[in-house]
Amino acid sequence: MKKLENKVAVITGGSSGIGLATAKRFVEEGAHVVITGRREKELKEAAAFIERNVTTVAGDVSRLEDLDRVYAVVKEKHGHIDILFANAGAGTIAPLAAATEAHFDQTFDVNVKGLFFTVQKALPLFSNGGSIILTSSVSNVLGLPGFSAYAASKAAVRNFARAWTLELKDRKIRVNSMSPGPIETPALATTTGLTPEQAEQAAAQFASQIPMGRRGKPEEIAAAVTFLASDESSYITGVDFAVDGGMAQV
Ligand code: NAD
């Protein structure tokens, strides 16, 4: 029996890394998936990789009119949503003394405002309970130099899950945050502002802080998100589900 048979799932940031691996897994588990991301080309490549039962819609989660467009497509195509994986995130590294207003605004626009309205605007399409999973990060509980704005934004995500668990309980919608440790995705090399050598160094540095001694794989996050999305986690809501090789647990 597939875990997500005929469920309708929306995944933001679904064209790459964690979101893409999760979209692939959801489809393997029987779901119909709508993925969003900012770039058409990446979305097309993602759709080819996923192969079937996937719809793509380009959009920037920090732009409310883009979110309206995404959900209009979901409504037309499927009529409702069962699972929302609010995963799109941005995370350039900037020490306090060097951070700019643009850095701060971009981090909060995507990770906090974007995620807030991603969930708010999806709500009318949840008609029969459901599961919402918010991508936070181990940085929501760890002090990581250079990541203060990012960490604060991910702590906001964790707290959204707490409040929304209570706000949505009567609609039988479960809300959990999911906190990855360092994962082998393009993010470290492409969005943090590090050179490839610096990214390698940072990856090795992270690995040394992880009890399991290595970074995680996107598929390992996808497995955890599939559990939170499925009825197997029917009594789990409001938690922060860490998938971090033990990094923030010891
Ligand atoms: P990634 O760069 O591979 O993917 C990020 C995705 O988010 C891409 O599809 C990108 O298009 C999308 N995105 C970024 N800004 C967007 C915006 N404004 N509007 C719409 N889409 C946007 O990175 P990833 O590592 O897969 O990251 C996924 C999530 O996991 C992020 O929220 C990130 O903060 C979080 N995370 C990642 C790690 C890690 O080590 N990779 C660790 C903890 C948390």
pLDDT tens-digit readout, 219-233: 999 999 999 999 999
In a domain, 83, yes or no: yes
- Indicate if 235 belongs to the active site: no
* Torsion angle of the four alpha carbons 5, 9, 14, 20, in this order, in degrees rounded to the nearest 10: -10
In a domain, 86, yes or no: yes
In a domain, 3, yes or no: no
What angle do the packed helices 64-78 and 115-122 form, to 10 degrees? 30
In a domain, 248, yes or no: no
- Which atom in ligand 1 lies closest to the alpha carbon of residue 18? 26
CATH code, 115: 3.40.50.720
Domain range for 168 is 8-243
In a domain, 51, yes or no: yes
In a domain, 1, yes or no: no
With cut-offs at 50, 70 and 90, classify the pLDDT of residue 236. very high
Catalytic residue (one of 117, 126, 150, 160): 150
Domain count, the chain: 1
In a domain, 39, yes or no: yes
Pocket test for ligand 1, best of 20, 35, 38, 40 (most atoms within 8 A of CB): 38
What ipTM is given for this predicted complex? 0.98
With cut-offs at 50, 70 and 90, classify the pLDDT of residue 91. confident
Rounded CA separation 56/46 (Å): 9
In a domain, 184, yes or no: yes
Output the residue whose Cα is nearest ligand 1's atom 19.
Answer: 60
Residue 189 burial by Cβ neighbours in a 10 Å radius (0-12, 13-18, 19+): middle
245 lines ligand 1 (CB under 6 A): no
